[in-house]
């Protein structure tokens, strides 16, 4: 009984202390809220109701009459930028930076926000300068991410590599992006007729990311341009071990290289073997074109019809109808054209490349998505044959 009595006393004490603490906290919150102007809550209500224009009006008036409200001025600058009123956002954040009594953290925050304003306005040089000044601050990592965006937009690939290397951590190694930056540098060097420099960049790309298909594609192109077709073939064949889905990107190049080496039959057998192992639409197109060019349209048509019996797909059917329409007599061609147009419309999505990150569709393959700017996000096959 004595043990239970002590517990009752302790419970009563803890309850009393908790009640007093809650009273103190509530009084503190109420006293703080009384210090805030009524307009602050009015503006907040407009924001919560998605009435941004009304909120801006209220906060502008509030900032004019209460210049000491730093947080409010930050919020107002953000609202201006969100509404597209970049000049007003710049003025607001510049005004904050000019305040001598501003705490170091607030000054850095204003500098970061001003850099975002310049970036939104397309003034990349001014944004870059401000982001660079934040290197040793709490905003350093966020600033570097924006610098990376700027360098990619301006095609400053060496600077992009440097920043990406600073950003890499266990959650994101940036190896895909850095390898792509080296590939971009290689393309620039190739355009300037600097093949040795381009080759060096591509080796760095593969050292960064050994499965960088694009690097081997370009290495093969450089070798072929110099007449080193054996070396070119070796580069392109490495793609199979990197990602076989990209083999169609090299298939026509391979056929041309084998032709120049007077080994056309070997080249044809190679791409037909790829199709048998990796039955994808793009490789089907390559083989069909090869048979039509080296043998005859009739043989190519018979081969395609037989291939579709083994691997039936809608894109393959479109290819077959195309071949039928091309060879049909005039009185039959009009009828086939109507059928072909209807099937084309129904299967349009199957003949396009898709970005795995944002879903953007395009007839052309992009190493970097034009919509979301992700690298290597496009799936390499337009329409896939069933395995």
- The reply to whether 183 sits in an annotated binding site is no
- The reply to whether 372 sits in an annotated binding site is yes
Answer positive or negative: Cα dihedral of 313, 315, 318, 322: negative
Using an 8 Å Cβ cutoff, are 340 and 321 in contact? yes
Which of 131-142 are b and which e, b meaning 16 or more Cβ less than 10 Å from the residue's Cβ?
beebeebebeee
Using an 8 Å Cβ cutoff, are 144 and 163 in contact? yes
Number of H helices, E strands in the chain: 20, 2
Which of 109-124 are b and which e, b meaning 16 or more Cβ less than 10 Å from the residue's Cβ?
bbbbbbbbbbbeeeeb
Q: Which helix (DSSP H) or strand (DSSP E) does residue 361 occupy? A: strand 361-362
3-state secondary structure of 163: helix
Q: What tokens were used for 243?
A: 């990602």
- The reply to whether 355 sits in an annotated binding site is yes
- The reply to whether 235 sits in an annotated binding site is no
Q: What tokens were used for 245?
A: 């889905």
Q: Which of 325, 372, 367 is nearest to 344 (CA)?
A: 325
Q: Please enumerate in sequence order all residues whose Cβ is within 8 A of that of 204, keeping only pairs 6 or more positions apart, or say none.
A: 182
DSSP result, 25-48: HHHHHHHHHHHS-HHHHHHHHHHH
Q: Which residues contribute to the annotated binding site?
A: 355, 358, 369, 372
Q: Which residues contribute to the annotated binding site for Fe cation?
A: 355, 358, 369, 372
């Amino acid at each position: 009984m004595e043990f239970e009595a002590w517990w009752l006393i302790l419970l009563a004490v803890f309850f009393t202390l908790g009640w007093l603490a809650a009273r103190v906290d509530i009084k503190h919150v109420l006293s703080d809220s009384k210090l805030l102007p009524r307009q602050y809550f009015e503006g907040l209500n407009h924001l919560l109701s998605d009435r941004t224009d009304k909120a801006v009006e209220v906060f502008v008036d509030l900032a004019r009459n209460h210049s000491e409200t730093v947080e409010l001025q930050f919020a107002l600058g953000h609202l201006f930028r969100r509404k597209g009123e970049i000049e007003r956002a710049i003025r607001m954040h510049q005004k904050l930076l000019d305040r001598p009594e501003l705490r170091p953290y607030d000054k850095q925050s204003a500098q970061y926000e001003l850099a975002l304003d310049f970036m939104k306005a397309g003034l990349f040089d001014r944004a870059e300068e401000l982001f660079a000044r934040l290197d040793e601050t709490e905003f350093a990592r966020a600033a570097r991410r924006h610098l990376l965006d700027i360098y990619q937009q301006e095609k400053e690939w060496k600077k992009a590599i440097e920043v990406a290397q600073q950003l890499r951590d266990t959650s994101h190694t940036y190896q895909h992006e850095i390898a792509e930056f080296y590939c971009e540098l290689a393309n620039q060097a190739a355009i300037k007729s600097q093949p040795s420099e381009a080759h060096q960049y591509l080796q760095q790309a593969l050292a960064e990311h050994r499965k960088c298909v694009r690097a081997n594609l370009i290495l093969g192109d450089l070798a072929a341009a110099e007449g080193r077709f054996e070396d070119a073939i070796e580069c392109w064949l490495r793609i199979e071990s990197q990602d076989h889905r990209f083999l169609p990107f090299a298939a026509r190049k391979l056929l041309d290289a084998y032709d120049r080496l007077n080994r056309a039959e070997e080249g044809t057998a190679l791409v037909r073997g790829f199709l048998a192992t990796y039955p994808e639409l793009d490789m089907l197109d390559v083989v069909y074109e090869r048979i039509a060019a080296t043998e005859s349209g009739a043989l190519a048509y018979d081969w395609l019809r037989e291939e579709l019996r083994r691997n039936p797909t809608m894109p393959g059917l479109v290819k077959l109808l195309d071949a039928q329409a091309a060879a049909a007599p005039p009185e039959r061609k009009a009828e086939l054209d109507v059928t072909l147009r209807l099937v084309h419309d129904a299967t349009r999505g199957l003949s396009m490349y898709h970005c795995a990150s944002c879903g953007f569709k395009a007839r052309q393959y992009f190493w970097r998505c034009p919509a979301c700017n992700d690298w290597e996000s496009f799936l390499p096959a337009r329409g896939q044959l069933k395995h």
